[in-house]
Every structure is written in C-alpha cells, then in structure tokens.
Amino acid sequence: MRLTLCAAAALLALPASAEEFRWASTTDPQTMDPHAVSSTPVLGFLNNVYEGLVRRGKDMSIEPALATAWEPIDDGAGWRFTLREDVTFHDGADFTAEDVVFSYERASSEQSDVSSWFAPVSEVVAVDDYTVDIMTTSPQPLFPDSIANWMMMDSGWAAENGAERPARDEENAATLQANGTAAFRLEERQPGLSTVLVPFEGWWGEPEHNVTRAEFTPIQNSATAVAALLSGEVDMINPVPVQDAARLDEADGVEVIRGIEARVIMLGFAHDHDTLTGGADQGADNPFSDPLVRRAVAHAVNVPAILQTIMRGSAEPASQLVGHGMSGYSEANSERPEYDPERARELLAEAGYPDGFGFGFSCTNDRYLNDESVCQAVVSMLAQVGLEAQLNAMPVQNYWPELRAGNFDMYLLGWSPGTFDAEHPLRFLVHTAGERLGTWNFGGYSNDRIDELLPQIQSELDPEARQAMLDETARIIQEDAVYVPLYIQPLLWGVQENVSLTQRPDDFFILRWVTVE
C-alpha cells in the first residue's frame, strides 16, 4: 500500500516523459524582445530562441552561428561576414543579409538598449544575399567578440507584426512573441508565470540535447526554489543561495554545480572629492585621493577570511578588474595585495594618518551575493587598522543615484565585463569620466596614461602589443589602487542528478546543452 502511494506520488510529481525539463530562476525575463533590454536574465534566456552571427561556446570562445566565416576588410575598415545559407526562422522565412541589415537598424535605434555595441559602426551593407559588410569608423579587432548577443530578427515578421523598433516604451508583438532561428522556439509565454520552449524542427544545427519540452518558471524566494528542487518539481535552479549549497550537496538526488561568474566584486573610492561626505570625520580633507591610503585599505582587508566564512569557500580572490579566463587578463599582475594589517598601518602613518580616520562606506544590500555581510566584514577589518567606516547599506535602486550624486567615500561595486575582455572595465570604470567613456567611474579617477592607452588598445590588431598595453594598465591600476578588487563572485546552480548541463561564466543557461537521463 505504502509503495503504491509512493509510486503514485512520484507519478504526480513527474507527469510527462523524462525529457521534459523544468527550470527556475529568481528573475523572469521581462521581455521577449532581444534588443529592448540588455540584462543577463533577458539575453541569457533569449539566447535559446534567437541567434546572432556568432555565438559563445562552452568555454566562452567565439564560434560561428548564423555566420560561417568572417574576416577584416582592408586593414580595419570593417568586417565581412559570410552568412549560413540553410537557415530559416521559426515561422519558416529564410534568413538573409537583409535581416542582418534590419537587425542592425533595430538594435542601434534610439529605443534600443544595446545600441552601445554599435557605437564604432558606421554602416552595414548587404553585399549579396549571404554576405554582409559591417563598416567601422576605426579598426575594431574585437568586433566579432562584442556582438555575440546581437540577435537576428526577421525583417518581414517584424514589419507584419508592427515590431520594427524595440518594445521599450510601449508594448508590441515582440514583447510576448519571438521568432528567432535558434534550436528552441517559444511555444507559450505568460509573463511572470511560465514560459515554454520546444525544439525547433527546422534548426540548422545538430541537436546535442534530448529535451522535448522545457518550461521556465520564475521563483523569487530562494527558499521556495530550493524546496522545489528537493521535491523534484523542477530540474534546475539558478542561483542556489550560498548558505544552502552545502545542504544540497548532502541531499539525495540533487547536486550543486559550482563555477565562477565573470563578475569581480571590488571596493571603489572617492578620488576627486575635496572632503569626506560621511562618518566621524565628515567635512575633513578627503584622504582617499592619496594612493597610500587606498593601498592601506587593500592590505587591511582579509579576502581569504571573507571567502572562507561569508562565501563558504565558493568564490575566488581577484587581483584585477577582470577574472582569469577573460581575454586580456594580465598574468604579470595576478598577485593581489597580501593581507597585512601591519603594512596597512605603516602606509597610513606614511600618508599622515597614524591614528586613522572615520568615513562613510556605501554598500548594496540586495545586488550581489551576500553583499551586506561582506561590507560588514570589511568594516570590522578596517577598524583593526584604525579606519572607522560608517556602513551605509541600501537597496540597489537607491544605490546608483547616491553614487551618481557623489554621496560616498568608499563603495562596493561589482562589474561583469560585457565583452569578456579586460578593455571593458577600462572603458567604463577607469577612463576619465565623460559622456560616453568612464560612465561608471563614480570616484572621478583620472590618469592621462590610461586615457591615452585605451583608444590604442581598442584598435590594436596585434595581440601581443595589445596585451602589453593591457598589462601596463593593470599595473597602473594595481599600483595606484584605483579599485581594490576583492573576489570573483561564484556561480551556484542546483540540478537533479539525472541532468547534465554546461555552466558558462556569463551565467547564461543554454538549453541545447542539456541532457536528461
């Protein structure tokens, strides 16, 4: 009797065939429009439905997708892409060069959230049905790497459905429907409830997966998501809360897949403020404009202890603004400043603050994994060398306006390089703040040498010369302690043991790599 009940319960829990795959994540992709929102939940999800000219493989390397080959034109005037010929969209229309031109116009329009990818592009020309030239204003050696998430939409479908422009300020057909070329097509979309994908029979590639139907559900509360995984109602959850990972390791039938994300968590400083804005010494001269003080902070924070206690051994220490494995990572600067409170005190004394000082430390409490706990730990570590940080933790929606308004002396920042290249943080975090460059350089750091090197790095075609320049910038940033990189945020996914999948550092979940046994 008992056995029958168990069997019945098992049948209830798994109603369909084993190849039906269900997964859950905290955030629902807010739109199905591939050009309206540039965020990981949206781009990651839509990578299963739409495809770009190129795509990233399991190791993040660029590989052919809708383009079979590409080559630079005339020493950096642009790039020529040769398109795949047997590709159809989910509605049956053929994929041709005209769709590429249309997708460029759509993705670079004013309503688009991804238009910055096309900042160096002057023109996109359809040479013939299967050849496209993308002309750039300056040599762009890494252009193919930067467009892996530029997804192709059918011009005919968009025109028929009134979706010629990204649906950002108003709803259009692309908000709830999708018509891509990828291995899965969108069967059902109920925002915030469930989104169903089924394999696309006419896909050009050779499927590696054995999924017959995949359903995504957002589960906002992480305790509920863990329960749903344990009870077998979902096959995969992302993320697993750091504090639950050990428990899931011990549970039967499920496992935790660990990796590191591309996101580096770091401390930033007010470089160009005249006075301190918070803490006990509010109004006094700003000590953080002195590199000695910033280096003292770097030596005072015990990163291994933070990783062991708060991140439970899941994260890795960071030495520079990108993690190893990203292109342009500087091997020459892979040593991070050691934990050495004595040295920190010496540096402070040398800078003229033998007794330390009090200041304001801004931090998010809902943006990065355990961000507030990390900040609290940093506060107590700094206190040991005489730095009295007054912690000001707030939700991320209040955080960015505060940082833009300059209400901080030191702050926590996480940065994930969108191009997976070391040039990306230079452009946004380190270059002198301006209209297009240095837009996240809240502290107002400015270094002429870095500003001079950045355009050269962007257009250098020789990999070795490029790396040499990147090494130089990494060294300057480390010596100057522009930022103090702390650690690389971990990726923790929970899966049923009968599921095999691939975890990529950009936190994209790629359905075509899933097999269910």
Distance CA 410, CA 267 (A): 7
* Cα distance between residue 478 and residue 266, in whole Å: 12
445 belongs to the binding site for other proteins (CB under 8 A): no
Q: Among 280, 284, 258, 253, which Cα is nearest to 270's?
A: 284
Chain-centroid distance of CA 250 in Å reads: 30
| Burial environment of residue 395 by CB neighbours within 10 A (0 to 12, 13 to 18, 19 or more) | exposed
Binding-site size for other proteins (CB under 8 A) equals 56
Q: Does 36 bind other proteins (CB under 8 A)?
A: yes
What is the Cα–Cα distance from 267 to 170, expressed in whole angstroms? 38
Nearer to other proteins, 189 or 345 (CB): 189
Residue selected from 397, 456, 498, 500 as contacting other proteins according to rule CB under 8 A = 397
Buried b (16+ CB within 10 A) or exposed e, 141-156: bbbbbbbbbbbbbbbb
Q: Is 269 helix (H, G, I), strand (E, B) or coil?
A: strand
Q: How far apart are CB 9 and other proteins at their closest, in Å? A: 5
- Judge contact between 382 and 298, C-beta under 8 A: no
Cβ-contact 24, 237 below 8 angstroms:
yes
* Among residues 19, 20, 94, 113, the one that binds other proteins under rule CB under 8 A: 113
The binder of other proteins chosen from 218, 259, 317, 406 (CB under 8 A)? 218
Q: In this structure, what is the dihedral angle of CA atoms 123, 127, 133, 136, given to the nearest 10 degrees?
A: -30
- DSSP H helix total and E strand total for the chain: 16, 19
Tell me which residue has tokens 């230079």.
426
223/304 Cα distance (integer angstroms): 27
Cα(515)–Cα(291) distance, rounded to whole angstroms?
Answer: 51
Q: Decide: is 396 part of the binding site for other proteins (CB under 8 A).
A: yes
Q: Of residues 119-178, which lie at the interface with other proteins (CB under 8 A)? A: 167-171, 175-176
Nearer to other proteins, 25 or 181 (CB): 25
Among the candidate windows 6-14, 353-361, 378-386, 466-474, which touches other proteins by CB under 8 A? 6-14
349-378 binders of other proteins (CB under 8 A): 366
**Residue 396 CB, nearest approach to other proteins (Å):** 8
Among 122, 137, 138, 220, binds other proteins (CB under 8 A): 220
Q: How far is the CB of 496 from other proteins (least distance, A)?
A: 14
Are 396 and 446 in contact, with CB atoms under 8 Å apart?
A: no
In the range 480-509, which residues lie near other proteins by CB under 8 A?
none
Cβ proximity to other proteins: between 47 and 181 the closer is 47
| Range in contact with other proteins (rule: CB under 8 A) among 57-65, 219-227, 472-480, 483-491 | 219-227
Instruction: Please provide the distance, in angstroms rounded to a whole number, between the alpha carbons at the two ends of the chain.
Output: 28
Q: Which segments of 270-366 are extended strands (E)?
A: 316-317, 358-364
User: Looking only at residues 184 through 213 of this chain, which bind other proteins when binding is defined by CB under 8 A?
Assistant: 190-194
Residue 13 engages other proteins in binding (rule: CB under 8 A): yes
Taking the complex as a whole, the smallest distance from the CB of residue 413 to other proteins amounts, in Å, to: 11
> For other proteins, which residue of 46, 151, 219, 450 counts as binding (CB under 8 A)?
219
Q: Are 398 and 268 in contact (CB under 8 A)?
A: no
Nearer to other proteins, 286 or 370 (CB): 370
Minimum Å gap between C-beta 199 and other proteins is: 23
Please report, as residue ranges, which positions from 231 to 290 form the binding site for other proteins (by CB under 8 A): 231-233
The pair of structure tokens assigned to 99 is 């769709």
- What one-letter code names the amino acid at 316? E
User: Judged by CB under 8 A, which of 114, 265, 301, 412 binds other proteins?
Assistant: 114
Piece of 54-62, 204-212, 217-225, 383-391 that binds other proteins (CB under 8 A): 217-225
| 49 is a site residue for other proteins (CB under 8 A) | no
- What distance in Å separates the CA atoms of residue 335 and residue 387, rounded to the nearest whole number? 24
What residue ranges bind other proteins (CB under 8 A)? Answer: 9-10, 13, 24, 30-31, 33, 36-39, 113-114, 116-117, 167-171, 175-176, 190-194, 217-221, 223-225, 227-228, 230-233, 366, 395-401, 416, 418, 428, 435-436, 439-440
